[in-house]
Structure 1
């Protein structure tokens, strides 16, 4: 049995290309299917993003559409968590130095694609896990 060799970690350039490609086409990627927006258009959009990512890739490894979609899901989730933690820290009371801002350029692009309530939660909402 041949084990599939693991692909190398994503470089910063690849992450920036992915974030730029998705943020520029977010309406197509997240849009609802309609006569004006078909599945083939979404697939073509993801293929263009994958080509963009591969154009900045210096290694011989190529990223396909599945790799790009998975990575986008992972980094957008991680960025959402990071931003929620940062906002929670900012709202906290007490002294001390301000939290260090360590948001990367590609994370800023991701934050631009997220809605406010997806990061902060629903205004006035109740966490059902905390209810008895």
Structure 2
């Protein structure tokens, strides 16, 4: 083994398929859209997986019937997955550019295929987020914990209830201490209460 030189080792070159043209990709998107409920099904039991395989085989047969380079099921799945990912990235960049301040020209519109992929997958969590969820994370501007609207409202209501409780029970000493602490941490609430 030590006598084998690196130049003697033959490298097997991977055979490449033709690139997907826009018409084939649009046709793939149309076929996926017809079967999106099965393809995006979250169930992973035997019957559902079998149906998914059948749908992808049907889509592969339809794409190959159009002519061009023959494609396998795995190639079409991968192309669709990467196309959806690229459409999501393009959509997010476009949204970010639309909400920037400072004027300037409008960002270019999404391509027809990206627009279609966004419409097909609009209700999936990867595009629209998880419904009825509370999101916690760091605020990129301040580095502090970012609070959602729900959390801010909850904190304000808790503060108001505490003040009412203190007034009812005449705990003025504790109320003043709490209000001082709350004022130093929540200027926006105190400013809105002074009106």
TM tier relative to shorter chain: 0.7 to 0.9
What are the equivalent positions in structure 2 for 1:25-64 lying under 5 Å apart?
Answer: 25-31=35-41, 32-33=43-44, 37-57=47-67, 59=68, 61-64=69-72
* Alpha-carbon distance in structure 2 between the residues aligned to 1:112 and 1:97: 25
Determine which of 118, 124, 128 is the counterpart of 2:126: 118
Task: Structure 2: give runs of 5+ residues left out of the alignment.
Answer: 1-9, 145-195
Greater RCO (Cα-Cα under 8 Å, separation 6 or more) = 1
What are the equivalent positions in structure 2 for 1:7-26 lying under 5 Å apart?
Answer: 7-26=17-36
- If the length of structure 1 is used for normalisation, what is the TM-score? 0.80
Moved more, 104-113 or 71-80: 104-113
CA RMSD of the aligned region, Å?
A: 2.6
Which of structures 1 and 2 has the bigger CA Rg?
2
Q: Offset at 1:115?
A: 3.3
Task: Structure 1: give runs of 5+ residues left out of the alignment.
Answer: none
Q: Deviations over 1:30-86 (max 9, x none)?
A: 112458x522211110011112222334x3x20110001111111100110010010
Residue in 1 aligned with 2:100?
A: 92
